[in-house]
Amino acid sequence: MLQIENLHAWYGAIEALKGIDISVHDGNICCIIGANGAGKTTLLKSVSGMVRHTGTIRWNKEDISKASPMAVNKHGIIHVPEGRLVFPGLTVYENLEVGTISWHGFIGRKPYDEDIRKVFDLFPRLEERRDQQAWSLSGGEQQMLAIGRGLMARPKLLMLDEPSMGLAPLVVEEVFKKIVEINKQGIPILLIEQNARLALEVSDYAYIMEQGRIKFEGVSKELESDERILQAYLGNFKEEA
């Protein structure tokens, strides 16, 4: 379980997060919805130790507020970044290989064939493109590769930053199906989305973020039918998405 209390984060003098409290329970999909610039990415970056922040972040009771990106990875908290950011000059297979670094080590020799097998079973399209360089993949395939690379790290919590960004609706649906499938394997997921309708559909619990603060939170099913939220948020985001 991931617990975040009173989280503030800064870029220089700009305060991007102004006191955030959220928690992600075991086995759940928790989503965070908000417009551009709300601070969603910053929240994930704080957990990953990539931005200056204060407050407490606890992972299974252990305080990881001050942990380095490497240490966070060692805990099994894996951040799949916004915009996929696969390694363009490496092949699909090599991208997946590199994903194992947190438990494999720089010069380790532990085998990872089984992990690769699992990712290929989940995303058969990646197996077809096994030796293709990542820059030549389509957006959807790159997103799958980014998620696959995250899975190679043997996540105990998977944080996905806007996996639907820039993808065609059909592809988005496919990606979301896979996300649910991953969750069914017992991996809790912290999902960041601008596509509110879809996010609420797949998640168990949702937070709505605005300008560095949590505006609403609740069980996704309830938020989905909440008139106020439908009016204030879903409409807006749909237009944007």
Ligand X SMILES: Nc1ncnc2c1ncn2[C@@H]1O[C@H](COP(=O)(O)OP(=O)(O)O)[C@@H](O)[C@H]1O
CA 18 to CA 212: how far, in whole Å? 5
Residues in contact with other proteins, shown as a per-residue x/- string from 96 to 125 under the rule CB under 8 A = -xxx-xx-x-xxx-----------------
Q: Structure tokens of 90?
A: 């490496």
**Measured from the CB of residue 85, what is the shortest distance to other proteins in angstroms?**
4
**Measured from the CB of residue 87, what is the shortest distance to Mg ion in angstroms?**
20
Specify the residue, 41 or 100, whose C-beta has the smaller distance to ligand X: 41
Which residues share a beta bridge with 53? 9
Q: Does 38 bind ligand X (CB under 6 A)?
A: yes
Specify the residue, 97 or 226, whose C-beta has the smaller distance to other proteins: 97
Q: Structure tokens of 30?
A: 């928790």
Strand, coil or helix: 224: helix
**Measured from the CB of residue 161, what is the shortest distance to Mg ion in angstroms?**
6
- Site for ligand X, residues 39 to 98, rule: CB under 6 A: 39-42
Strand, coil or helix: 235: helix
Instruction: List, as one string, the DSSP characters of 139-192.
Output: HHHHHHHHHHHHHHT--SEEEEE-TTTT--HHHHHHHHHHHHHHHHTT--EEEE
Give the footprint of Mg ion on this chain (CB under 5 A): 41, 82
**Measured from the CB of residue 237, what is the shortest distance to ligand X in angstroms?**
12
Interface residue list for ligand X (CB under 6 A) = 11, 14, 16, 34, 36-42
